[in-house]
Amino acid sequence: MRKRSALRSNRLADHGVTAVAAQLASPLVAAFAGGFLGCFVTLELTAIGVMSSLASASTTAVLCGVFLITRTARCLSGAFFPALYGGTFGGMTSVASLTNNTSHSVIVTVGLFVALSIVCGLAFLAATRVDARSVVPIASGYGGRLGMIAAIASFFFIDLAQRLLGFHSAVFLGIRTASIPEPNVLALKLGACMAGTFVTFFIFRLAAVAEAGNPERIYIASAVAVSGLALLSIFNSNSTGTSGDFYAGCFLGTSSSERLTGWRQTAFGAVVLTATLPVVRAVLPDVGGGLGLAAFFTVAFVSAVNRVVAMTRDFVRHR
> Is residue 48 packed enough to be buried (19+ CB in 10 Å), middle (13-18) or exposed (0-12)?
exposed
Task: Pick the more confident residue, 278 or 11.
Answer: 278
Helix axis angle for 27-47 and 2-24, nearest 10°, is: 100
Task: Pick the more confident residue, 206 or 10.
Answer: 206
Residues in the chain: 319
pLDDT of residue 174: 47
Radius of gyration of the chain (CA): 21
**Among residues 137, 136, 167, which one has the least CA distance to residue 149?**
137
The answer to whether 121 and 87 have CB atoms below 8 angstroms apart is yes
Average pLDDT, the chain: 84
pTM above 0.75, yes or no: yes
Q: pLDDT tens-digit profile of 38-90? A: 999 999 999 999 999 999 999 999 999 999 999 988 888 889 999 999 999 99
The answer to whether 41 and 59 have CB atoms below 8 angstroms apart is yes
**Angle formed at CA 108 by CA 102 and CA 114, multiple of 5 degrees:** 135
CA distance 277 to 224: 21
CA distance 20 to 75: 10
- pLDDT above 70 for 182: yes
Confidence of residue 238 (pLDDT cuts 50, 70, 90): low
- pLDDT above 90 for 14: no
pLDDT of residue 21: 47
Q: pLDDT tens-digit profile of 99-119? A: 655 555 678 888 899 999 999
Q: What percent of the chain has pLDDT over 90?
A: 53
The answer to whether 209 and 253 have CB atoms below 8 angstroms apart is no
Instruction: Kindly state the average pLDDT of the residues 125-131.
Output: 94
Confidence of residue 235 (pLDDT cuts 50, 70, 90): confident
Task: Pick the more confident residue, 306 or 41.
Answer: 41
The answer to whether 147 and 251 have CB atoms below 8 angstroms apart is yes
pLDDT of residue 237: 59
Domain ranges of the chain: 2-317
